[in-house]
Amino acid sequence: MIRLDKLLSNLGYGSRKEIQYIAWSGAITHKGEVLKDVSMKVEPEDILINDEKIDASKLIIVMNKPKGFICSHNDSAKLIYSLLPTRWQQRNPKISTIGRLDIDTSGVILLTDDGNLNHALTSPKKNITKIYEVELASALRGDEVEIFNSGEMMLKGESKPCLPSKLTIKDSHHATVELTEGRYHQVKRMFGYVGNRVVSLHRSGFANIKVDDLKEGEFKIITYDDIKV
């Protein structure tokens, strides 16, 4: 049970004062009865606002991130969160990305307000597979597959080599990489290691989650059961 005004302000419906005004307008019902006392302790599933259920459970979202948006809460660049409904941007706890994609990377990114889930899915121990589609500045040489798979690639500033990753060459300038780590700028640095440069990067998979029919900037809610790790 939670106070109605606290519940609704945590869900982004407004400040506690604004919730009071919404309640006075008669828009909130509790088990079918109009509820105007915002101090009442309620179960979220008993509350409707304008006859609609409230999204009180934890949110897990999959988005097809467009390039040009940053996975940060605090930056002068366009934030990925600005693509979410305004009310979701005001939820407490905050919705955060599960891991990060660079500003110029597109593709699958999960977001959640469930801190435990976020922690579990970003833990290096989980070894979650991420699939990246890469476009390169220079032609591939052919030995990159072996180097990526060697488990001996030591990137600058790192104390441990990268775990083996699977590189599939599509044509001279395009490849797919499957990684189980998530080091800073990892794909770009790995191609830098083999003397190349990434000109375009798209993540097509995170665990079993794909962008499917989501257009860039679109998102949908998924459930815990949808994520197979």
Q: Which residues are catalytic?
A: 102
Q: Cβ 204 to ligand URA, closest distance in Å? A: 12
80 binds ligand URA (CB under 6 A): no
Three-point CA angle 43, 119, 191, nearest 5°: 140
Residue number, 102 or 133, with CB nearest to ligand URA: 102
User: Alpha-carbon distance 211 to 203, whole Å?
Assistant: 9
Among the listed ranges 118-126, 151-159, 179-187, 215-223, the one in contact with ligand URA (CB under 6 A) is 179-187
Residues 186-215 that bind ligand URA (CB under 6 A): 186-188, 201
Contact pick of 6, 185, 210, 220 for ligand URA (by CB under 6 A): 185
Nearer to ligand URA, 91 or 100 (CB): 100
Burial class (CB in 10 A: 0-12, 13-18, 19+), 152: exposed
Question: Is residue 205 within 8 Å of 129, Cβ to Cβ?
Answer: yes
Q: How far is the CB of 101 from ligand URA (least distance, A)?
A: 4
Nearer to ligand URA, 42 or 111 (CB): 111
Site string for ligand URA, 91-110 (x = CB under 6 A): ----------xx--x-----
Cα torsion at 97, 103, 109, 114 (round to 10°)?
A: 0
Would you say 22 or 108 has its CB closer to ligand URA?
A: 108
Distances (CA, A) of 58 to 27, 73, 117: 23, 19, 10
Tell the smallest beta-carbon distance from residue 94 to ligand URA (Å): 21
Given the complex with ligand URA, which of 13 and 191 has the nearer CB atom? 191
Q: What is the rounded distance in angstroms from the CA atom of residue 122 to the CA atom of residue 184? A: 13
Q: Which helix (H) or strand (E) holds 23?
A: helix 16-24
Least Å from the CB of residue 22 to ligand URA:
40
The verdict on 178 binding ligand URA (CB under 6 A) reads no
User: Which are the contacts of 128, defined by CB distance < 8 A and separation ≥ 6?
Assistant: 121, 180, 182, 206, 207, 229
Class of residue 49 by CB neighbours under 10 A (exposed 0-12, middle 13-18, buried 19+)? middle
What does the binding site for ligand URA look like in residue numbers (CB under 6 A)? Answer: 101-102, 105, 185-188, 201
